[in-house]
A and B are shown apart, each in its own frame.
Chain A
Amino acid sequence: MEITDSTKATLKLMIVDDSNIIRRRIERSQQIARLEVVGSASNGRAAVEMFIRTQPDVVTMDLTMPEMDGVECVEELVSLNSNVLILVVSALADKATAVEAIEKGANGFLCKPFTDRQLNDALEELLSEA
């Protein structure tokens, strides 16, 4: 089922995860019509470069990645655009990590593994802040 709301403008989504199958899964599973995927990156450093180039409004962010980890990347992206909405999508299930990511500027946290419904609910909740 596609969730539509024609009264709201399209928002650009960037997906950051070192796993290709997770990047593809998020792109395939997200059913929110006002989100348009503008790019994906496999590590924090590549994500920062893509962020500058594509200027997304919404980012899904893994935490355990090579080159630059997700928490550092969240901090970097928020310094570039404090209005960006970031959903951390990570297997790191301890509360301290979620709190740290939120303190650095993330807006939500979704724990892996996740169902399509959990992903879409988390994105909907994130967008309610927009």
Chain B
Amino acid sequence: MFKEAEIRTFVEGTTNYFEVSAQQSATVGSPYLVTDGKPGAYEYTGVIGITGARKGIVYFTAPRGMLTVLLMRMQETDTSDENIKDLVGEVANTISGNARRDFGKNFVISVPVVIAHETEKVTTPHTRSFVIPINWRTHSAKLVVCLE
């Protein structure tokens, strides 16, 4: 069973990512539970597989507009599809990796798998997921945490 403190770890990881990488805060909405196995996805999704003490996935999903501006805030001038995919994977990787500060070394993360332009291919291994809504500038994104 997922605890409130564990969700807080991912919320803090998400806000920290935007504060440090984009030098511009994001606001995080109230996390909510999805029980139908369909937490939803935007155009680009970076998926991290979790093994070890916990099993499941963490994914960060965002529209192209948000990722393009995020790249530009990071002084990156190449906003090609390849770099957008790279970024969405890196955000997922960073937030998941940072969670080991609280979960420890046995929270084992995979390299990112990126799904672009095929939102229907973004699936979760369990029906229950927590969704953390993210608002940054005029854009919306989500972090989805689906762990046993």
Contacts and interface: CB of A to CB of B under 8 A. Distances in A.
Given A93-B100, A96-B104, A64 B20 contact: no
Nearest to B93: A91
Given A19-B89, A21-B71, A112-B94, A64 B109 contact: yes
Interface string A89-104: 0111110110000000
A94 B101 contact: yes
Contact of B76 (A18, A24, A65, A66): A24
Given A18-B111, A21-B87, A91 B98 contact: yes
A103 B83 CA distance: 34
A21 B97 contact: no
Contacts of B96: 91
B contact patch SS: helix
Interface string A14-29: 0000111110110011
Contact of B101 (A25, A66, A93): A93
Interface residues of A, number: 24
B97 A92 contact: yes
Contacts of B90: 19, 21-22
B105 interface: yes
Given A19-B89, A19-B90, A25 B97 contact: no
Given A91-B98, A111-B98, A112-B94, A21 B76 contact: yes
Contacts of A7: none
Contact of B75 (A25, A93, A113): A25
A42 to B, nearest CB: 10
Given A25-B76, A115-B20, A92 B89 contact: no
Contacts, number: 67
A66 B71 contact: no
Interface of B: 16-17, 20-21, 23, 71, 74-76, 78, 82-83, 86-87, 89-90, 93-101, 103-105, 107, 109-111
Interface in A1-41: 18-22, 24-25, 28-29
A112 B76 CA distance: 17
Nearest to A21: B86
A113 B101 CA distance: 13
Nearest to A22: B90
A47 B20 CA distance: 27
A113 B105 contact: no
Interface string A41-77: 0000000000000000000000011100000000000
Contacts of B109: 64, 92
Contact of A97 (B23, B75, B94, B100): B100
